[in-house]
């Protein structure tokens, strides 16, 4: 999908111009303070480039779910203060994202200044993609830059409608996300592998269905693998599964076979009678899961097979952990597979892209978060892209 980038905007000149930057400042907080700066840190390249070029950088974002009401606890003021600390410079703040207060703050800006406008979701029109709200926000700027891929799956006033009212561009983070995803599913180097884990098949039906027809190897782990094993007639003891999706699982298996996609399901699993840290466990073939036990992780033979196959791949997309990684020793498969993928990436033989759900936490736990080619923090938008869906915030940038 063609879209203009920050390079195009900077080439046209931004000195003294008002640039509305749609960011994702919906960051974790604790006791009124930002507890994870990752999203703010990833936003800084776009802000620094625009500011250095003399733009007046006006940051738009939602925060939490105020449902169109002004909720003091959901103000972006503390986030603006955290952004200032990350940037190492002053960041202004306006008590609203439209109207006289926003206009006053923007009018007082000098070239290079940065301000954050108040939570866009304080207005009910934001989530309705209201044209009037979009026009009021657009009136504050001369150009629009979307650097919030993580919010691009929502057709909201500050992500979709506004992009049709001003010259629109992708920021550095948005550009990196789109290029990374294009590399794994747009025009990938083959063979392509996908690792999909997590608890429920039901949350990833579209994802599995889309990948089965587009990749060469689909490896399924996590509790969702139990549903596939049960659908094949295996007894899985007390393992978490979704009995009503057995037929769906069989359809996905058939779709993969028809597309020539190799499907890797567990050969052996780590089982225990309870899910707790350092619980007694055993490793058994999938055909021998005890009736009173739960499968909580992939076994070593399965991981051996996965790593051997990854060594023949050129591209990998990973979504979801392979076991209950938060509770050792049921993190072994996730950690070992992640480290293996990181080593192949470092060797230059594998392009690895991961994201969505618990994936970031799982890779951080494995100590390889910075060793993959690209790790997305976008969550729902990352998943919807992998499902083959059009993201309104991205489509709007293509004109």
User: Catalytic site residues?
Assistant: 39, 200, 357, 380
Nearest Cα residue to 247 out of 260, 234, 230, 262: 230
Q: What is the dihedral of CA 185, 188, 192, 196, to 10 degrees?
A: -30
Q: Are 247 and 204 in contact (CB under 8 A)?
A: no
Cis peptide before 321 (omega within 30 of 0): no
Where does residue 31 rank: exposed (0-12), middle (13-18), buried (19+ CB within 10 A)?
A: exposed
Asked whether the CA dihedral 254, 332, 317, 203 is positive or negative, the reply is positive
Supply the DSSP string of 55-67, one letter for each residue: -EEEEE---S--T
Q: Give the chain's count of helices (H) and strands (E).
A: 14, 17
3-state secondary structure of 168: strand
| 303 φ/ψ angles, rounded to the nearest 5 degrees | -70, -40
Alpha helices in the chain (DSSP H): 6-12, 38-52, 77-87, 99-107, 131-138, 172-181, 205-212, 224-231, 246-258, 300-310, 332-346, 359-366, 380-386, 392-395
Which two structure tokens, joined as six digits, stand for 145?
Answer: 């830059």
Q: Are 58 and 115 in contact (CB under 8 A)?
A: yes
């Amino acid at each position: 999908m063609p879209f203009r980038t920050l390079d195009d905007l900077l080439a046209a000149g931004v000195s003294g111009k008002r640039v509305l930057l749609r960011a994702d400042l919906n960051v974790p907080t604790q006791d009124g303070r930002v507890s994870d700066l990752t999203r703010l840190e990833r936003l800084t390249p776009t802000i620094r480039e625009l500011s250095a070029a003399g733009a007046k950088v006006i940051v738009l974002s939602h925060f939490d779910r105020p449902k169109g009401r002004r909720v003091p606890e959901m103000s972006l003021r503390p986030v603006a203060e955290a952004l200032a600390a990350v940037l190492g410079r002053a960041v202004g703040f306006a008590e609203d994202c439209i109207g006289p207060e926003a206009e006053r703050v923007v009018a007082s800006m000098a070239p290079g200044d940065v301000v954050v406008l108040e939570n866009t979701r304080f207005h009910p029109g934001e989530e309705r993609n209201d044209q009037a709200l979009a026009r009021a926000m657009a009136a504050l700027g001369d150009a629009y830059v979307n650097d919030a891929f993580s919010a691009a799956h929502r057709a909201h006033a500050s992500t979709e409608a506004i992009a049709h009212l001003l010259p629109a561009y992708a920021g550095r983070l948005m550009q990196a996300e789109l290029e990374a995803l294009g590399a794994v599913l747009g025009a990938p180097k083959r063979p392509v592998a996908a690792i999909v884990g997590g608890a429920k098949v039901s949350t990833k039906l579209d994802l599995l269905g889309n990948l089965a027809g587009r990749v060469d190897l689909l490896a399924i782990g996590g509790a969702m693998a139990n549903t596939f094993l049960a659908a094949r007639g295996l007894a899985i003891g007390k393992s978490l599964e979704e009995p009503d999706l057995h037929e769906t699982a069989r359809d996905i298996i058939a779709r993969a076979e028809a597309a020539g996609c190799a499907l890797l399901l567990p050969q052996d699993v780590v089982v225990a009678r309870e899910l707790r840290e350092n619980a007694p466990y055993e490793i058994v073939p999938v055909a021998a899961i005890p009736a009173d036990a739960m499968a909580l992780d992939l076994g070593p033979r399965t991981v051996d097979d996965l790593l051997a196959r990854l060594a023949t791949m050129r591209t990998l997309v990973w979504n979801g952990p392979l076991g209950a990684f938060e509770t050792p020793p049921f993190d072994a498969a996730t950690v070992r597979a992640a480290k293996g993928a990181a080593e192949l990436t470092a060797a230059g033989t594998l392009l690895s892209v991961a994201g969505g759900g618990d994936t970031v936490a799982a890779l951080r736990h494995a100590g390889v978060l910075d060793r993959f080619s690209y790790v997305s923090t976008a969550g729902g938008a990352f998943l919807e892209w992998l499902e083959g869906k059009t993201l309104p915030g991205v489509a709007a940038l293509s004109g």
